[in-house]
Structure formats: structure tokens, C-alpha cells
Amino acid sequence: MSSSDIFIGETIGTAILILLGGGVCAAVTLKASKARNAGWLAIAFGWGFAVLTAVYTSAPLSGAHLNPAVTLALTIKDGGWNNLPVYWGGQLLGAMIGATLVWVVYYGQFHAHLTDPDIVGASDAQAAGSKAVEAEEKGAGPVLGIFSTGPEIRNAVQNLATEIIATVVLVLAVLTQGLNDKGNGLGPLGALITALVVVSIGLSLGGPTGYAINPARDLGPRIVHALLPLPNKGGSDWSYAWVPVVGPLIGGAIAAGLYNVAFA
């Protein structure tokens, strides 16, 4: 496959992944959303179906990595380092596009949510602005969880270990499926299996950190959150941003090593 096919496929696939995955987070979070308070089960299955749709759509073009940790693991396993930046570039761009589309779809809900005194904790716009500044100083704003992940208990060692372990599970599941006969990535059954693995990770390992398990999934939308003109949005929690980037990359490398030792 050509570099242009890889870049286009990863951009489209990752945009779909974040549009649908971030979309379910917006749906269960935002005021005036019909799915508000649908809960963790909806989020876990929403992300699983997002993976299924994105992989199935983009596999013919790029092999549907959609995740820098998966790309790193496959590169360690098979070589082909020249394409690594192409995959990563498409994934990051796609994640940013997907996050922006979530904002477009839920534009009215974002505005209603972030101007509600009960949510921003103030009775007028001036006070709400003060709260936003305070949130910026503390780290995470009130809708950051729609865009990126954050820990329930902020402990760098535990948070990093959680992301590493969860990513090892994901990447090993991908590597052991292998490529289809045409060499174009996971086929329909592989897409379904990967989606169910993501659901399982969300239900079992997602509680501590929100399970990024994908550097592009967290970093791209976090950048978009920082750039969007959202009222009273608060901070983008950059002090935590390294964990969902470094953790999954370490996890991907470990998974590749385990695969080469145990399965190759």
C-alpha cells in the first residue's frame, strides 16, 4: 500500500473512531442530550462499536491501525519503520478532525452545558468566568472528559501502569489475529473481535484512567479542546497528558516483544 493510502486511511478511520467514541461520551455527559446519564456501559459499548466501524471502513486502505501503539507494535514485529510517521501523522490528524466533528454535532449541547450555573458553579457569566479560570489552574475543565481521559485517583505510577497493562491486552489481541490473506489488515471478523476486546478493556480496566490505550485518541482531542472556543471550558490538564501517550506506547512495545517471544 502507498504512503498516500496509509495516510488517507488512517485519517479517515481515526476520525470515525473519535467521532463515534467521543460522540458517546458527549451523549452521556452533556445537558440537553437525550442520552445523558446513560452510564459506563453505554460508553464501553459505544467505543467498541466505534472501533468496529472505523476498522471495517479503513482496513482496505491502510490496514486500520488507528492507534500509534498498534503501529509501533507492528513495526517492531515486522519492520517497515519508514511508514511509521505516515501512520502516526494520519492518526493524529484524524483524531483532531473527529473531535472537532463531535463539537459540531453537539454544538448546542456544549453551549447549554457550559453556560448552566448549576454545572459551572456560578450564578452569572462573570462568576462563571472566574470558575473557568480556577478550573484552568487546577487542570481539567468540566467537559474535558468528552475529549480525553483523566484519572479518578491521580497517581502517576498507577495511572501509567494501568495504561500499559490495558494496551498490552489490546495490542496482543490485535497481533495474534494477524493480517487477512490479502495483507490489508483485520477482516470483518477481526474487526468484531477487536471491538469486543475494547469493550472488555473498558468494562474491566477502564475505571482508574478512562482507558486511553491509544495516544492519538487522547492527544488529538486534547489539542482540540485547548483550541475550541468553548465558554467556561476550563483547562486541558496538560500535566496529565503524557500518561495516555507514553503508557500506550510502552504497552505496544511490550506486546510486540511478548508476541515475538511467545507467538512468532
Q: How many Cα atoms are found within 13 Å in the side-chain-facing hemisphere of 105?
A: 19
Report the percent of the chain where pLDDT is more than 70.
Answer: 89
What is the pLDDT confidence band of residue 178, given thresholds at 50, 70 and 90?
low
Q: How many Cα atoms are found within 13 Å in the side-chain-facing hemisphere of 178?
A: 7
* pLDDT at residue 61, rounded to an integer: 94
Report the predicted TM-score, pTM, of the whole model to 2 decimal places. Answer: 0.91
What residue spans define the domains of the chain? Answer: 3-116+143-263
Task: Determine the residue type at 259.
Answer: Y
**Grid coordinates representing 191?**
474487526
- pLDDT of residue 106 exceeding 70, the answer is yes
* pLDDT at residue 182, rounded to an integer: 47
* Contacts (Cβ under 8 Å, ≥6 apart) of 1: 9, 61, 62, 63, 184
Q: Return the CATH class of domain 3-116+143-263.
A: mainly alpha
* Contacts (Cβ under 8 Å, ≥6 apart) of 205: 162, 165, 166, 169, 211
Task: Determine the residue type at 251.
Answer: G
Among the listed ranges 23-37, 92-106, 162-176, 177-191, which one has the minimum average pLDDT value? 177-191
Task: Determine the residue type at 83.
Answer: N
* pLDDT at residue 186, rounded to an integer: 61
Cα separation of 160 and 59, whole Å? 30
| 140 strand-pairing partners | 236
- pLDDT of residue 243 exceeding 90, the answer is yes
Give the mean pLDDT of 18-29.
98
**Grid coordinates representing 243?**
500518561
Q: How far apart are the first and last CA of the chain?
A: 24
**Grid coordinates representing 210?**
478512562
* pLDDT at residue 26, rounded to an integer: 98
For residue 35, give the DSSP letter.
T
- pLDDT of residue 175 exceeding 60, the answer is yes
pLDDT tens readout for residues 186-241: 667 888 999 999 999 999 999 999 999 999 999 999 999 999 999 999 999 999 99
Among the listed ranges 51-65, 96-110, 136-150, 222-236, which one has the minimum average pLDDT value? 136-150
What is the pLDDT confidence band of residue 185, given thresholds at 50, 70 and 90?
low
Q: Which of 68, 78, 83, 66 is nearest to 19 (CA)?
A: 66
Among the listed ranges 65-79, 131-145, 247-261, which one has the minimum average pLDDT value? 131-145
What is the pLDDT confidence band of residue 19, given thresholds at 50, 70 and 90?
very high
